[in-house]
Amino acid sequence: MRLLRYAVLAAVCLLALAFPQLATWADQEFYISVASRVLIWGLFATSLNLLVGMGGMVSMGHAAFFGIGAYVVGITAVEAPQWSGALLVLPLAVLVTGALALVIGAISLRTRGVYFIMITLAFAQMLFYVFISLKGYGGDDGMQLLARSPLGSLKMADDTVFYYLVLALLALCLLGLARLRDSRFGRVLAGIKDNEARMESLGYATFRFKLTAFVIAGGMGGLAGALMANQNGYLSPNMLYWDQSGTALVMVILGGLGSLWGGLAGAAAFLLLEEVLAAFTPHWQIILGLVLLGVVFFAPRGLAGLFARKPR
């Protein structure tokens, strides 16, 4: 089992590294940008998995960070083009969405369960309507980007170059999360998910730990949004809309709640299903629903759970 796990992991990494060459060789360069989209959605779903899967905080407003991350790129390009280099704008997106998560989290983490779902949803919808009405930044038409955020002498317009940038950032985030999961902080977060009252009585100020996780997840979601704006060359209030949060949640459940690779596996499976099924029927989401039912009943630990190590 252990061997199989490493074999699958090695195969996934190799495929990810060699994908642009494979696609070019097969004369299917179009799929390089599809793969970038998968990785960016994977990053977004992974950031939500930190909240839902590792911390037990079911947020329905994660799109807030996805959308604001994108708007940081769009607004910077208009208002302060001298700052629009990737080395400035991507960290800026993380900082802004992290700060936003600090505010939203500080308020919504005072509630639990359904109320937490509702209040996070409300914040995201509020932002959605704010950006719909901001005509200066495109209103509901959104914003077109003239070019991707430049990074040194790299040709960012080249989909292969951009793909590797996304892959590198995703790898960094996954490495960080893997370390976090096994750290003191990760163990406390898992404990809070398991039994919050017990953790309180052991002396943990659980609110602070949950808020910290919320800020990290928000910043990571913002990074995903900033990358998505760059990928598409376009951003709109729809990135803030609640169905984006829902899609990410479906990806997390599909891929594996609380598993390190769950977000990525879920995003890949979801977008692949969409790609394949949409060719047959416009009602492809009916089939997606059936697949989701199957996963929940027969593989509650998701796709990644089929290979992942047993939870402790």
Residue 160 interacting with another protein (CB under 8 A): no
Residue 175: CB minimum distance to another protein, A: 10
Could you say whether residue 187 binds another protein (CB under 8 A)?
Answer: yes
8 Å CB contact between 291 and 273: yes
Residue that has been written with the tokens 């290979």 in this structure: 307
- Under rule CB under 8 A, residue 2 binds another protein: no
Listing DSSP states for 117-164 in one string gives HHHHHHHHHHHHHHHHH-GGGTGGG-EE-SSPPP-TT--TTSHHHHHH
The C-alpha atoms of residue 27 and residue 105 are separated, in whole angstroms, by 46
We find the least distance from the C-beta atom of residue 11 to another protein, in angstroms, to be 26
Q: Could you tell me which stretch among 174-182, 236-244, 285-293, 296-304 binds another protein (CB under 8 A)?
A: 174-182
Site for another protein in 188-247 (CB under 8 A): 188, 190-191, 194-195, 197-206, 209, 212
DSSP letter at 204 equals -
For residue 173, give every residue at least 6 positions away whose Cβ sits within 8 Å of its Cβ, in sequence order, or none: 43, 46, 47, 220, 223
Decide whether 137 or 204 has the Cβ nearer to another protein: 204
What is d(CA 129, CA 145) in angstroms, rounded to the nearest whole number? 21
**DSSP designation for 307:** T
- Nearer to another protein by Cβ, of 177 and 267: the residue is 177
- For residue 259, state whether it binds another protein (rule: CB under 8 A): no
Closer residue to another protein (CB): 50 or 132: 50
Q: What residues does 234 pair with on adjacent strands? A: 144
Nearer to another protein, 95 or 130 (CB): 95
Nearer to another protein, 157 or 202 (CB): 202
Judge contact between 31 and 23, C-beta under 8 A.
yes
What would the two tokens of residue 287 be? Answer: 């089939």
47-55, 86-94, 177-185, 283-291 -> range binding another protein (CB under 8 A):
177-185
What single DSSP character describes residue 57?
-
Residue closer to another protein by CB (options 152, 203) is 203
SS3 304: helix
Interface with another protein by CB under 8 A: which range of 84-92, 159-167, 180-188, 265-273? 180-188
Report, in Å, the least distance between residue 66 CB and another protein.
23
Token pair, residue 302, equals 């998701």
- For residue 294, the minimal CB distance to another protein (Å) is 24
The residues of the shown chain that bind another protein, judged by CB under 8 A, are 176, 179-180, 182-188, 190-191, 194-195, 197-206, 209, 212, 311-312
